[in-house]
Structures are given as C-alpha cells and as structure tokens.
Structure 1
C-alpha cells in the first residue's frame, strides 16, 4: 500500500531539527548512534526505497534508546524515538504491513497514553485510510482520557481526529456528542462544526440503515453466497432422495428404524460430500431431518412410533 510520504518526511525533518538544535557533542554516544540510524533510515526510505532495511534501522535505534530515556538528554532521546517510529510506520505501510504498525509502536512505549501525538495522529490516519478505524478506538480513547495529555497543544487536533476518523465512521454518535460537549480545548467554531458533522453523519447512517436489509437477511445472504451452483445441485439431490424415501415408505416398516435412519444419513453425506459440522451444511441437514420426520409419520402409527 502506497501512502503519502509527506507524513514521514515531517518526522524526518523533525529529527533533523533536533540534530541541528543540539550539538553532536552534547548528545550521549547512544543518542548519537540513534541519530545516525535515523538519518540512514530516512535515506533508505526516500532514496533507495528499501523498506525492510528502514524498519531494521528504526528498530535498532528505538531499542538503543530505551535505556537512555532517564538521562539528561531524555527529551532529545524521546524526540529521536518518535521520529524513528514515524519513519518505521511509513516503511511498514509501504510494505502493506499496516496491521503490524500498532503492535510495533506499542512495544517501545509503556501504554497507549504515552504515545507521542505525532505517532498517534499517524496511526489514526493510517487505520482510517485502510477502513479499520475500530483498531484505534480504545488506543485513542485511552490517550485522550490521560490527564497528562490534555494540556498538550495538539490535544484538540487529536480530539477532532478521534471524532471524524474513528467515532463517526463506527456510528458512535452519542459518544462523539459527549466528547464535543465535554472537551474544553475545542473552540466555539470547532464545536459548531463538530455538531454539524455529527448531525449530518447520523442522518446518513439512518438513511443507509433504512435502505439496506436487516441483519437477518444479510446473514442469510452471507451463507448462501459462497454456495453458488453447489446449493442448487444439493437441493436437487435432496429432492430426489425425498422421492426415493417416499417410494420406499411402504417397505421401511420391516427395517429397524434407527438402522434405516443412520444408513440414509450416511448415504446423504457420501453423495453430497458435506461436513455436518460445517455451517454451510446446516440448511441441508435440516432439510434431510424434515424428510426423515415425514417418513416416520408415514410409516408408523402414533401408538407404535419410535422416539428419535
């Protein structure tokens, strides 16, 4: 999956500003090594497009920084790790390995609440683009509810991303409305715009619900769709089997009932070649059960009818 490289470029340029604003001698040896890995990863991403090598460099850089975050230049290390994660996310998405992005990032942070705003923003946009916003639902919610993040300058931006790219696509309109009313960082104009979009999306959602069949019809279509022409063939065999059972109904009285039932059922499975435990087999097994029930009623009187 090819994604817009501008986000990754932003992360790389941000790392460049870190290096320019800090003298190389002021960085610890580990941080200097991580900065070199970041520059190498950026070059591999932009020039050589060797995305696997990019992920390798970013992993080495992030792992080397894990023990340096308590040092005096912890701020520079945090920014370096953030930039490495942004470049790594871009490389993973370029290889269509976007499902690995969130677990890959979280291994370098203690919890979702500690994710840098830039990394969270990129993850939300990525999962929104691939139509999987539910993956980020709990992660973004935990981040927004963390008190330490509510004072950040980018908090209102993350609130809007959570609203427009996660809650509304998932149909969580009540939660979206509650967030808009409870978020103090949103301006008056942003609140009005958010209310307008929520109202519009709710109307669209209700309209789509009216136009589409209910869930039961969709479930019925779901199991019928993969059968195709096979279902017609099976139903034809069932009809023929029913006629055979009807013609033999007069002779079934002389055969033990349980033996006849088992033999007919095994014959059905051999001819149709269906797995009784498969969900696609259930409608046909149910039809066969009805045929057996009809044969049982035709052969035996109520007083001598054996239990099934």
Structure 2
C-alpha cells in the first residue's frame, strides 16, 4: 500500500528541515540524508528503512546525554519519520505503530508530529481503531500539552477518529474535558459540536428510518419510473408510426410507378411505329410473351414457344 499524500508531504517537510539545519559532519545527520536519498531519489524503500533502523540503534547506544553533533530528539524524530514513510511504501503499514513504540517505548513519549503522521496513515487505510486508545493516552498525558502540535493532534482525534467511528457522546465529553479546554477555543468547540450534532442526525436517519417516509418515497419513485416508462413508450410508438407510414408511402409510390410504366409499355405504346421506338417495341414484345406464358392458356404458350 502506498501511503497517503498527507503523510508523504509530512515526511518530506520534516526530512527537508533536517537537511537544512543538520551539520554535514555529524554521522547521524548523514544517516538521515542517506535514508532520505534512498526513499525519495532511489526509491529503495527497504534500504531507507534499514538505514533508519541503523541510525536509531546508534542513537539508543549513545544515550540521550550525547549531543555533540545535533539534538538527540530531533535526529530520532527525523529517522522515525523517514522510517514510517518507508514502512508505508513497503505495504507494512499495519506495523507502523508497533515500530514507533519500539523506538520510543511508551505512547506518551512519541512527539506530536509523529503521532499526527500515524493518525493520518491509519485514517487513510480506514483502520482508525488502532490509533484510538494510543492517541487518547497521548492527549491525556500532561507533559504533552505543552507541545506545539498538541491542538492539531486533538483536532485529528476528534474529527478523524471519534466522529467517523460514531463515538459522538465520547466526542462531546472530550470537548468538555481538560484536554478539550486546553486544545480548543470556544469557536472551535462550537464548530465541533455542530459537526457532532450533524453526525448524530445522520446516524439516526440511517438506523431508524420512518416507515411512512420510506413508503412514500418508494411510491413516488415508482410513480416517477412509470411516468418515464410511459413517456419512452409513447416516444417509441410515435417513432414507429412515422417510420411505418414512411415505409408504406414509399412502397405505394414505387408500386404505382411500376404499374404506370407497365401500363404505358403494354397498353399505350403503339407497336405500329417500330422505326421510332425499336427498343420499346422489343420490350413490349418480351412483356407480352411473358404475360401470355404466365397467365395465358396452355395452347397459346406453346404457340409462342
């Protein structure tokens, strides 16, 4: 499965930012650049994933105190983002959350931008339930409320997980919780409540349709179908009538013309003028002989023969 465009863009932006600010002499920054090259240029997704995992192992071995070349957290986030993209390109998206947890250990320690990428990925593949508990735990961690992308994660959780899954009551509770008060303004809460109410109305209409309205709708649809069918039948009947009349008129004209020619040739042509109309006289003789052969007495046909 190819990953969604939003996830791809996020990976590209994050990786590009690492390229711009990372010192070229740092070995782990060079690993990030190599992973990006494998992913974006060479399209070797397995090599990109292997490079990310090697870089992450090096980071874990040096420890968080080692920051001689670059910030430990930023390098780790950059390698994780590229690794997520590589897993998605390799159609291994089901293991993305597990792989991210292997790098960070706990859900609450995952950076906001990586949580956002995971939400977008699992929403794209319509597997929201995988992220529901993880995002809920992340949002209720007090240490994450100060992160820059906290409000974005809360918005994604409400709009792309709770409401599409039909968890409207939980969505309203989430808006009134401490997390909702931190993540949303009053205008945003009002818009979110309107969205939840609309989803409730849609669910009610789909689950409990009114029998009379359904019957009325079906009857009206049948009436419209019969009217259209009658119109089509009238149109076909009119077309066939015109066509048959046209055919009959053409046939009658041709028959009348043939009869007129036969009348002129057989009755009106004077056989006493052979010099003036030799071909007509010859045709007249042939027609007369044919007539006598087909309709005349037997002795007359033998006489001609």
Task: Please indicate the TM-score interval, normalised by the length of the shorter structure.
Answer: 0.5 to 0.7
Q: Which protein has the bigger helix share? A: 2
Q: In 1, distance between residues paired with 2:171 and 2:18?
A: 34
Whole-Å separation in 1 of the counterparts to 2:147 and 2:169: 25
Shift of 1:179: 1.2
Q: Distance in 1 between matches of 2:66 and 2:50?
A: 27
Q: Which residue of 1 aligns with 2:81?
A: 86
Question: Is 2:9 the counterpart of 1:6?
Answer: yes
- Which TM-score applies when normalising by structure 1? 0.62
Alignment partner, residue 53 of structure 1:
47
CA distance in 2, matches of 1:176, 1:69: 39
For the pair shown, the structure with the greater C-alpha radius of gyration is: 2
Query: After the TM superposition, which residues 286-297 of structure 1 pair with which residues of structure 2 at under 5 Å, given as runs?
Result: none
Deviation at 1:69, TM superposition (A): 4.0
> Does the C-alpha gap of structure 1 residues 168 and 69 become closer, same or farther in structure 2, counting only changes over 3 Å?
farther
Q: 1:36 aligns with which of 12, 30, 55?
A: 30
Deviation at 1:151, TM superposition (A): 1.8
Measured after TM superposition, the shift of residue 140 of structure 1 is 0.3
Instruction: Look up the match of 1:129.
Output: 124
Write the deviation string for residues 251-280 of structure 1: whole angstroms up to 9, x where unpaired: xxxxxxxxxxxxxxxxxxxxxxxxxxxxxx
How does 1:105-254 map onto structure 2 within 5 Å?
A: 105-182=100-177, 183-185=180-182, 186-210=184-208
Q: How far did residue 203 of structure 1 move? A: 1.7
Aligned residues: 202
* TM-score (ref. length: structure 2): 0.63
For the 8 Å contact 1:54–1:87, the answer to whether it is kept is: yes
Q: Is the 8 A contact 2:163 2:171 kept in 1?
A: yes
Contact 2:64 / 2:72 at 8 angstroms: preserved in 1?
Answer: no
Unaligned runs of 5+ in 1: 26-31, 212-308
> What is the CA-CA distance between 1:177 and the residue it aligns to?
0.6
Structure 1 residue ranges (4+ consecutive) displaced by more than 6 angstroms after TM superposition: none
Give a deviation string over 1:222-265, Cα, whole Å, max 9, x none. Answer: xxxxxxxxxxxxxxxxxxxxxxxxxxxxxxxxxxxxxxxxxxxx
1-side partners of 2:56 and 2:127: how far apart?
26
Equivalent residue number for residue 252 of structure 2? none
TM-fit CA distance, 1:110: 1.9
User: Counterparts of 2:83 and 2:203 in 1: how far apart (Å)?
Assistant: 36
**Consecutive unaligned residues in structure 2, runs of 5 or more:** 210-305
Q: CA RMSD in A?
A: 1.7
